[in-house]
Amino acid sequence: MNLHTIETGLFKLDGGAMFGVVPKSIWQKSNPADANNMCTWAMRCLLIEDNNRLILIDTGIGDKQEEKFFGHFFLHGEDTLDKSLAAKGFSRNDITDVFLTHLHFDHCGGAIVRKGDQLLPAFTNATYWSNEKHWDWAVNPNAREKASFLKENILPIQESGQLKFIEEKEGIAFSEDFNVRFAFGHTDAMMLPQLNYKGRTIIYAADLLPSTGHIPLPYVMSYDMFPLQTLKEKKAFLEEAAAQNYVLYLEHDSINECCTVQQTEKGIKLKDTFKLTDL
């Protein structure tokens, strides 16, 4: 197995929304906001060479929405999905599997492209993977989460015939060195890839742990549908990660690509930060 970091660009989200009940005077020390209270976040995907499969985890926000939509998120940076794939020697046509942790627009927007008046899969040779519980949750969204589940990102996947579902079973194997964990606080049945790599366990943390700034337990996003469930899940997850020295791959941290955590007298704290290539 070979792993490649795939940067798809940066965007901005409201700092208060990203840190929930935590006061700005505290969270801005690690994530400084601009004049509009917006903080910069990555949309970092992961490419996995796994025998004869080339698996892309998440796809970033994409580029098919209207200018008004993107205006809310201040996209910036030099990286794009295609540019990052090309830097690793690949193209979209090489991808065999697109694994979507969940169907919020900043995680699956790049899965579909607009060609004329058609919405088509961006990865024509790939199988797209979700799970039935989360899919149903996304296509029948509640009013609070509806703005994150855009039908143009989701329905064309199923219409293409390229969609398959993973069984909602904790620890289910996606491949020999790729198991799937589930979390239910941020959104229903979000999937977290757990990889065996060079003798280490790497977990793609998705929105259970967006950044190192979210390691303290009360730092739960306002975007989370079930914040007390997130709190419970994050506590158990971080305690396990500290005890087992897991590598946490961070999708939204604009500075830190990977980290480890440690148990201290004051709870779980950040231990080390590094790049995937450092392993």
Host domain of residue 123: 2-278
Checking if the pLDDT of 66 tops 90, the result is no
Residue 243 is predicted with a pLDDT of 97
Q: Cα-flanking dihedrals φ and ψ of residue 40, to 5°?
A: -90, 135
**Could you report the per-residue pLDDT of 213-230, keeping only the tens digit for each?**
999 999 999 999 999 999
Q: What is the mean pLDDT of residues 243-268?
A: 97
The burial class, CB within 10 Å (0-12 / 13-18 / 19+), for 263 is middle
**Three state DSSP letters for 10-60:** EEEEEHHHHHCCCCHHHHCCCCCCCCCCEEEEEEEEEEEEECCEEEEECCC
Give the count of domains, the chain. 1
How many Cβ atoms are within 10 Å of 168's Cβ, its own excluded? Answer: 16
Residue 140 is predicted with a pLDDT of 96
Q: Compute, in degrees rounded to 10, the torsion defined by CA atoms 129, 258, 33, 262.
A: 120
Percent of the chain with pLDDT over 70: 100
Q: What is the mean pLDDT of residues 5-28?
A: 96
Checking if the pLDDT of 188 tops 90, the result is yes
Q: What is the mean pLDDT of residues 187-191?
A: 98
Q: How many Cα atoms are found within 13 Å in the side-chain-facing hemisphere of 165?
A: 11
Write down the residue that tokens 């994150």 correspond to: 148
**Could you report the per-residue pLDDT of 20-45, keeping only the tens digit for each?**
999 999 999 989 999 999 999 999 99
Kindly state the tokens that stand for 49. 């060479």
**Residue 70 is part of a domain; what is its CATH number?**
3.60.15.10
Q: What is the mean pLDDT of residues 95-120?
A: 96
Supply the mean pLDDT for the chain. 96
- Cα–Cα distance measured from residue 255 to residue 274, given in angstroms and rounded to the nearest whole number: 10
- Output the pTM of the full model: 0.96
Q: What is the mean pLDDT of residues 84-98?
A: 97
